[in-house]
Structure 1
Amino acid sequence: MSTTLNVFYVSISGNTRAFAKRLVALSQVEHAKNAANPLINAVEYDEQADTSIMDQPYFIMVPTYLDGGDGIDNGYTEVLTLDFRDELDAGNTENLLGIIGSGNRNFNAQFGLTAKHYARRYNSPLIGLYELRGNDEEAHKIYAVMQKYQLDYDQRGVKRALV
């Protein structure tokens, strides 16, 4: 398996950044226990971000910000991560191994909706959702799934698609 898992993310309120830091710290602990456990390289998107991360297999993390409504009948238009989406549109999404999303479970159907939209848009699996800043249990679960998808990519040479 690759020795590094690449994560490209956007953070608006700081919650996604906090979870990215949690994942990086977890990977460092797990790598120290067993060098076969990959480290996480997390790159936050901004206008100066090094987008070469998309030239290798990578995962993305996106928060959910919508325009109101219930996410089913209305309020399904994603806002605030549009520049990140444009960057992904211009990049290599054939290397995009999976989508990780966040949100607030109080918003019911809207929870993780941006990640679900991105999964469809980029034909990449939604591999995990976490709430707000995430917790250790969510980080362990998502780290394990990331390893699984990276190993699958390493073995097959192509990403898993939705269709």
Structure 2
Amino acid sequence: MTDKINIIYISLNGNTKYFVECLSDYIKTTKDVVVESLNIKDLKGESFPVDEPFVSFLPTYLNGGNGIHTGDKEVLTTRLGDFIASNDNFKYCYGIIGSGNRNFNNQFCLSAKQYAERFGFPLIDVFELRGTQSDVKRIANLIIDRQEEFLNKL
């Protein structure tokens, strides 16, 4: 059984941070698992090598286009991608969870889908804005399952 979960995320307006905090509290109280989280925003562009498995959370902020035919450009959250790419940290990431606003239609959670493709790890799940309690429960179980699978492959 997993005894610790590492979460590396970026939160700019607080929605993702709020969700990660709710998720961490839920996992600690119901699963008796320690959760350590890091908001990449706090590193101010710095990086370091990761040597433990982690899951990543990424909100979608896009500029222009419709995400399909007329393109898209990720804005504001590229520091997370830079961190995951640096020092081959992506090798320790067992998945990503996306968040966004469903009003963005095809662009809903598009950045997380793009990261999964770019780095070769799975898109575990998605949630809207600050998420719901059912999102927290569902994603907590998915993270624990994915981490167990990842650890068994090491």
TM-score normalized with structure 2 length? 0.91
Amino acid at match of 2:55: F
Residue in 2 that maps onto 1:54: 50
Compared CA separation, residues 53 and 3, structure 1 to 2 (3 A)? farther
Residue in 2 that maps onto 1:77: 73
| Shift in Å, 1:138 | 0.6
Alignment check: 8 A CA contact 1:19 1:133 kept: yes
> In structure 2, what is the Cα distance between the partners aligned to 1:82 and 1:47?
13
Amino acid at match of 2:85: D
Picking from 99, 104, 111, the partner of 2:101 is: 104
Secondary structure in 2 aligned to 1:134? coil
Residue in 2 that maps onto 1:89: 85
Compared CA separation, residues 48 and 55, structure 1 to 2 (3 A)? farther
Picking from 25, 32, 39, the partner of 2:34 is: 39
Residue in 2 that maps onto 1:28: 28
| Shift in Å, 1:68 | 2.4
Residue in 2 that maps onto 1:161: none
Q: Show structure 1 runs of 5+ residues with no match.
A: 158-163
Compared CA separation, residues 6 and 53, structure 1 to 2 (3 A)? farther
Alignment check: 8 A CA contact 1:54 1:96 kept: no
Deviations 1:58-92 (A, max 9, x none): 01101100012211112422111112211211132
> In structure 2, what is the Cα distance between the partners aligned to 1:144 and 1:6?
14
The count of aligned residue pairs is 152
Alignment check: 8 A CA contact 2:66 2:107 kept: yes
> In structure 2, what is the Cα distance between the partners aligned to 1:4 and 1:108?
35
> In structure 2, what is the Cα distance between the partners aligned to 1:139 and 1:89?
27
Picking from 128, 134, 139, the partner of 1:137 is: 134
Compared CA separation, residues 129 and 87, structure 1 to 2 (3 A)? same
Residue in 2 that maps onto 1:150: 147
Compared CA separation, residues 109 and 29, structure 1 to 2 (3 A)? same
TM-score normalized with structure 1 length? 0.86
Deviations 1:16-51 (A, max 9, x none): 1011111111112213xxx4xx23221111226996
Compared CA separation, residues 19 and 53, structure 1 to 2 (3 A)? farther
